[in-house]
Chain A
Amino acid sequence: MLSPAFLSQLRKLLPPHCVLHEREDLLPFESDGLAAYRNTPDVVVLPENEAQVAAILKLCHAEKIAVVARGAGTGLAAGALPIDGAVLLVLAKLNRIKAIDPLARTAVVEPGVRNLAISEAVAQHNLYYAPDPSSQIACSIGGNVAENSGGVHCLKYGLTVHNILRLRAWTIDGQLLDIGSESLDAPGYDLLALLTGSEGMLAVITEVTVKLLPRPERAQVVLAAFDDVAKAGAAVGNIIAAGVIPAGLEMMDRLAIQAAEAFVHAGYPLDCEALLLCEVDGVNEEVSADIFTVREVLAASGATEIRTAESEEQRLRFWAGRKAAFPAVGRLAPDYYCMDGTIPRAQLPHVLKRISEMSAEYGLAVANVFHAGDGNLHPLILFDANQPGELHKAEAFGGKILELCVEVGGTITGEHGVGLEKINQMCAQFATPELTRFHEVKAAFDPDKLLNPGKAVPELHRCAEWGAMHVHGGQLPHPELPRF
């Protein structure tokens, strides 16, 4: 609990409507996009300018009070889950687009600006901001930087880290960091990369300069059906080997296809095991050449059906099913749990086979949606939270899937972040020396561990406890750690 003295100091820094302390005002902030994790915050502050952010941080630093930064709250890893005795710093009111420079192709925005709002604001110049996480109508750019968000266009256009130029950020002791530059690089260490994806653990961002791209002249999508998941997986590699880098390359398995079709009637073939959507974009002639190549490769890879969207309306319809895949799967069961592992693409058939075996073991169905181009797998585990023990079972199953991703050379999170959700699986992916360095990186910025403590990087004793429960092939992970 926060002391009345601290709260009254906090109130002196902000107008009354910017400090929420009544229980009914706090409830909307008790979870982020991962609603299974809830905790009512002690206090919520909603600063309206950068000076207020700095003042809040200085006060919290002086009083040794933890701070959890939060944007739109659409994160999927409980990264913005409130912590007891901490201040929840909501940056949603810092939502101004401060400058747009069409000739230099940049926009300077505050962290609370929504991802899609940037592209909308620059559309008149025929420009857009490329990273497009599926929550882009709601998620804000500050959170995108904190999570290094991706989307369906990552393979060609990169993640957030590839699309930002400069940050204004504040350390916990209230010092301003001007990171990056208006040029293409900056002197010293690449702190722009280090802060991107740091999950609110290192600094609080108050301004982001994003890179804008010219809108592609044309985008066209090809849909292909396969009678075998492995064939679809191989087709993805074949497209890339043919020299095409698709703007989007998505795969769905049988359960995901059927759910999506029943939900939005995208016209997907239903008698197949896997569906690929391959979109190419760019200069008109380039798209024509690429579509030709993609169709040839798909046919040679054994597609049972290949359709090319002939109009913008048809293109959007092909995408509608994929974009609605999560809510569509949500109709099949009361709850679903979305995982976010990345694997080397060649491992796809093996991983899908193991997931289906585990699905039988746990007695929980799984639909697979896959950013196939960049190997980012989103298995959706279906369960019913009202059935005693099912949530726990779904979480355990999800954890196993992530460990499988690490086993085949991949990672536990491609774009959602670690937050609190995947903190145990960090112990599977990293050994003690690396985890120690992560803690030291944090200490370089925040020696008192006040920014979002306990998230993203597990304490070593936590890995020791977790490891004790996960003996694999007689090998205890982190054997050097003391266990009690």
Chain B
Amino acid sequence: MKQKIGLTTGILLILTWCLLPVAWIISLSFKSQEAITNGSPGFFPSPGGTAGFANYSDVLADEQFRRAIINSIGISLIATTLSVLIATLAAYAIARLEFQGKKFVLTTALVIAMFPVVSLVGPLFDLWRTIGIYDTWPGLIIPYMSFTLPLAIWTLSAFFREIPWEMEQAAQVDGATSWQAFRKVIVPLAAPGVFTAAILTFFFAWNDFVFGISLTSTEAARPIPAALSFFVGADPFNRPASLLAAAAVVATIPIVIIVLLFQRKIVAGLTSGAVKG
């Protein structure tokens, strides 16, 4: 009984920890901008300082922010797709093939995972403006791919190692063509891993800030985190806290949806193969 109380308390603590700041940002997004300018302390909007959904409609009416959403979704999706594709090839080789340089690949991936991105943005900015992809989608997609590859390769090779590849041969013996064997046997087994790697990669690209502010300068490519930090409200001298909060909530919705749908897979991806033995 005592243990049960302790456990329940623990669960409540975890839920509070995780959700209180989220609740706060939602609550803040309902404070009116006038109340913010004038100062409106407290967790909940004051009775006279409630904005309803005005902040949301303002944010969604903001052309720059709408562009940022499109940029973020487009760039993150393309980077994720390409990164997972390339990582799948590499992870397959690492998990199933013997070849020279395997160690080099894994070392490179590890070093890049630890790389301080800030030390790259200067030269990268220089390089990008020389070859003309500064402030474009490819200008962000390429670094996102590079920096998500390690994560994707490690996750995928961990998954691929668990796949019983002999089943493919077994299926072929049973009369399936090699394509059928691959599609009916291997794809279903590999899909969860690919999927998990894709989600984690997407999270990374969605979250990135350093590249986002350094390699863009207009809404042609500026992603959401950069747009948030440059957000302009009615009052250029005060951060439009409640508008920003509304924008932040909007930017978090895709994350919440992904988490709700795939929480099991994400946890598996983060932990499976993270630690062996």
- Are A and B physically bound partners? no
Name B's A-contacting residues (CB within 8 A): none
Name A's B-contacting residues (CB within 8 A): none
